[in-house]
């Protein structure tokens, strides 16, 4: 189901005994997403300055996070649960409405009836692109699951190979050579999510090719390093900043995501603290990325653009876990207030 796939919902009595490898992976991926958003806000001055190199080196390692979330959902399979989807919708809507009121109160947003009504239906109006596309994936998941049951292993493999060519390899050449891709969405749409979901299901049902977990980790590191090195060299060759390979539908992003996913799959341990922190993963995404307060948090409170050089690197390493924990506290307060309201 969606909430379990991303990291949310209520814990059961066996929570403490649950393996924490995928919970830790969810947590790590959300930290990478926060790091990527900090880099996006910070920007850079000119090609070749310290901020530009930091962006080109760090961003590839962060880009895999979204794809991994979908791989996890495919690995465990989405069991459509409309009550949980509605609960998720209510959580997102509540935060959007509260942050709208907060933004108006702080004077950082001017009321616009023609636009602000969307905050009351954030999933439908795509206030968070990931949540909207993931909702769509959940709604069609019964049909995808049925497809997986019908296909034999060979046909399934051919489907994935064809998808890799169409939706990973071709887009990679498209961004390098500057021609249009088939989907025209850089992997932000439903096509890429369906492909990754089916890949996750295949890994769970048919993968028998076992490597050392360190080789999987090495695949992730090497692939992301190649992406960073290529973009740096290509930018110097072109004479302007080139970072299009960090799209979600390029071959480098896909292979790196699978490598990091497989590394965590091979881990086996249990930690209740990690399990509890990972439950708030989706709420962390919704809180820190709210469109009305996003720039206020990163520009006015954290002064993200003021960091450069070593201080910028330190900020990228320290800020994500601090932001994550702050969002967890907010989510705990929301849960407590919701419980009191229901009672």
Per-residue pLDDT of the chain (343 residues; tens, 9 = 90+): 444 455 444 433 344 446 899 999 999 999 999 999 999 999 876 888 999 999 999 999 999 999 999 999 999 999 999 999 999 999 999 999 999 999 999 999 999 999 999 999 999 999 999 999 999 999 999 999 999 999 999 999 999 999 999 999 999 999 999 999 999 999 999 999 999 999 999 999 998 777 889 999 999 999 999 999 999 999 999 999 999 999 999 999 999 999 999 999 999 999 999 999 999 999 999 999 999 999 999 999 999 999 999 999 999 999 999 999 999 999 999 999 988 887 6
Question: Residue 61's closest CA among 277, 200, 172, 217?
Answer: 217
Q: Which two tokens stand for residue 38?
A: 């900090």
Contact 163, 251 (CB under 8 A): no
**Host domain of residue 142:** 2-342
Q: Which two tokens stand for residue 98?
A: 């509260």
pLDDT of the residue at 338: 84
* Residue 214: count of CB within 10 angstroms of its CB: 10
pLDDT of the residue at 102: 97
Q: How many domains does the chain have?
A: 1
* Residue 83: count of CB within 10 angstroms of its CB: 8
pLDDT of the residue at 12: 39
SS3 percent helix, strand, coil of the chain, rounded to 5, is: 75, 0, 25
pTM of full prediction above 0.85? yes
User: How far are the Cα atoms of 71, 133, 261 from residue 67, in angstroms, in the given order?
Assistant: 6, 12, 10
pLDDT of the residue at 312: 96
Question: Residue 64's closest CA among 38, 40, 28?
Answer: 28
pLDDT of the residue at 18: 67
Length of the chain: 343
Return the beta strands (E) in the chain as ranges: none
Q: In angstroms, rounded to a whole number, what is the distance separating the alpha carbons of residues 237 and 234?
A: 5
Question: Residue 242's closest CA among 33, 48, 39, 35?
Answer: 48
User: How far are the Cα atoms of 4, 96, 170, 336 from residue 101, in angstroms, in the given order?
Assistant: 30, 9, 45, 20
Q: Which two tokens stand for residue 35?
A: 């790091």
Residues 6+ apart with CB under 8 A from 86: none
pLDDT of the residue at 10: 41
């Amino acid at each position: 189901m969606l909430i379990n796939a991303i990291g949310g919902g209520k814990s059961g009595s066996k929570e403490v005994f649950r393996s924490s490898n995928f919970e830790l992976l969810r947590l790590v991926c959300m930290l990478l997403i926060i790091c990527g958003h900090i880099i996006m806000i910070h920007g850079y001055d000119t090609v070749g300055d310290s901020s530009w190199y930091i962006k080109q080196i760090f961003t590839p390692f962060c880009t895999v996070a979204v794809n991994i979330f979908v791989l996890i959902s495919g690995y465990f399979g989405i069991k459509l649960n409309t009550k949980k989807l509605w609960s998720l919708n209510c959580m997102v809507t509540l935060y959007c409405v509260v942050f709208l009121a907060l933004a108006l109160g702080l004077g950082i947003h001017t009321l616009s009836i023609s636009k602000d009504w969307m905050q009351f239906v954030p999933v439908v109006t795509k206030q968070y692109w990931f949540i909207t596309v993931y909702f769509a994936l959940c709604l069609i998941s019964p049909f995808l699951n049925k497809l997986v049951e019908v296909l034999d292993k060979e046909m399934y493999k051919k489907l994935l190979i064809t998808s890799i060519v169409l939706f990973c390899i071709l887009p990679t050449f498209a961004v390098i050579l500057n021609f249009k891709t088939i989907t025209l969405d850089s992997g932000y749409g439903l096509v890429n999510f369906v492909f990754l979901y089916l890949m996750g299901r295949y890994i769970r049902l048919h993968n028998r090719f076992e490597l050392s977990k360190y080789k999987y980790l090495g695949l992730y590191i090497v692939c992301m390093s190649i992406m960073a090195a290529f973009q740096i060299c290509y930018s110097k060759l072109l004479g302007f900043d080139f970072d299009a390979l960090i799209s979600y539908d390029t071959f480098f992003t896909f292979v790196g995501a699978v490598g990091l996913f497989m590394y965590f799959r091979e881990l086996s341990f249990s930690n209740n603290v990690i399990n509890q922190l990972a439950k708030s993963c989706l709420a962390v995404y919704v809180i820190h990325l709210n469109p009305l307060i996003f720039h206020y948090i990163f520009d006015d409170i954290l002064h993200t653009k003021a960091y450069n050089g070593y201080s910028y690197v330190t900020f990228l390493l320290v800020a994500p876990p601090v932001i994550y924990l702050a969002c967890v506290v907010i989510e705990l307060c929301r849960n407590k207030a919701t419980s009191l309201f229901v009672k």
